[in-house]
Structure formats: structure tokens, C-alpha cells
Amino acid sequence: MPLSAILWDLDGTLIHFNIDYKNARSETIRILEKYGYPKGKLNQNYYVLKMIKQATDYFLQEKIHEDDKIVKIKSEVDKKVELIEREASYLATSIPGVKNVLEFCTKRKIKSGIITLNTTKNAILSLKTANLINFFPDTSFIVGRDKVNKNKPDPEHISFIINRLNVSPENICVIGDHPSDIESAHSIGARSIAIISEKHSANEFNTHFFVDQSRIETELIEILKNFIKN
């Protein structure tokens, strides 16, 4: 199938995004405990979204808060985390080699979109800071967690963009450095390429295509050339 578009993860795939995860998780725990989650029961190593889900399930099961109150609690957490993310957005740098890959895609009229757990606003700011925003002229194809109801590995991010592009999943490729990126592609029938780094090894990804983060330019372009031929 012809390759019409590439959907990129952001952090670890296109940019280095040095968010203070420890602070984000600590603030999340502080807020959730303030509203009644048992102190000391949330794991500092969990992702923020996982902690929110865990707390939501607890609040509903124990009948501590109604749905409307839980929505407000989630909003309070999200606003705090977004501020921490924004600080990191001003320091974002592009991963070596990605500009040449994006130029390769642009010359071949392959469209690019972003699927990220960051907010859309902070994703755009990060791309501007890293001097990559010119490769994403239509910012409606930059989809953060605020534009979807379910986050990766659910394929809603992908569906959002392919519906706007009016293409089928077989015509796109998802590129990311986290197993959830590849899982979301697999679940919707899209091709995928995993970016390997010290964060995740190759055996954690359900895909046939791997690229070492330190060799993105050469290895990724070669795989994309084969996708274009086929």
C-alpha cells in the first residue's frame, strides 16, 4: 500500500523533552491524596495517567466522589502537569538526524502528524523551540492528550488524524519510542517503526522494524524508502 502519511510520537522520537517527571508525579500524588486517596499508596514510578486512573477507580468504588467532582480533580492535576511540561517545552531540542528525515518526507509529499501524550499546545511549543514546526504546517495534525478521550495505546490519536486525512490505516506509518505507540498502530492495522534507546529494548516492541535512536537519519530513511516502493 502507498505511504501517505507518517504519525510521529514526539518525546524520544523527534525531540529530547527533559520534563521533570519526578515533580510531575509528586504533584499528581499530592493532589490526589488531598482529595482522599490513601496516603503512600500511589507508586512514584507510575505514569501520571496511570495514577489518575487508579485514583478514579478508587474514588468511584469507595463512593468518595461523584463523576463531576472527579472531572474537576483530573482538571486540577492536568493543569499542574501542563505547567511542568511547559517549562520543559522551552528547552526542547531535536534529536540528531530527524530534520533530514522530515525533509526526506516533505520532498516526497508524505504528510506528517504528531500523536503525543503531551498537550497539543505544549507539543506545538516544543516543535517551535526545536525548530521543527515548519515540517508541520497544518497544526490540526498535531494531536495531544487534550484532543482525545482515550490515550495510547488506544488508537484514538491515530483515528483522529487519518479521518482528517481521509486515508486508511494501511496508508500510514506510526513511528515511536514507546511500546504503546507501536501497540496503537498494530491495533488499527497501520505499519510501525520502533525507535530503540536506553528506555526500551527491541524485544518490548510488536513490530518488524527497528531503528536505533543514534542512527535515525540513515536507518529510518532506508526503511521509509522500502515502504514507498511497496
For 77-116, the pLDDT digits (tens) are: 999 999 999 999 999 999 999 999 999 999 999 999 999 9
Which of 30, 54, 89 is where one domain is finished?
Answer: 89
pLDDT category at 44 given cuts 50, 70, 90 is: confident
Same-domain check for residues 36 and 117: no
- Output Rg (C-alpha) for the chain, integer angstroms: 18
Same-domain check for residues 176 and 158: yes
Pairs from 51-59 (Cβ < 8 Å, separation ≥ 24): 51/25, 52/28, 52/77, 59/35
For 3, list phi and psi in degrees, rounded to 5: -95, 115
Same-domain check for residues 37 and 134: no
Same-domain check for residues 42 and 11: no
Which of 89, 114, 144 is where one domain is finished?
Answer: 89
pLDDT category at 199 given cuts 50, 70, 90 is: confident
Same-domain check for residues 122 and 207: yes
Same-domain check for residues 156 and 224: yes
The CA distance from 50 to 128, in Å, is 29
Same-domain check for residues 222 and 110: yes
8 Å CB contact between 92 and 15:
yes
Q: What pLDDT is stored for residue 71 in this prediction?
A: 95
For 158-184, how does the pLDDT look when each residue is reduced to its tens digit (9 = 90+)?
A: 999 999 988 999 999 999 999 999 999
Give me the domain span that covers residue 144: 5-16+94-229
Same-domain check for residues 117 and 152: yes
Same-domain check for residues 98 and 85: no
For 144, list phi and psi in degrees, rounded to 5: -95, 180
Domain count, the chain: 2
Same-domain check for residues 70 and 117: no
The CA distance from 81 to 86, in Å, is 9
Q: What pLDDT is stored for residue 229 in this prediction?
A: 76
What pTM value is reported for the model?
0.90
Which of 36, 70, 89 is where one domain is finished?
Answer: 89
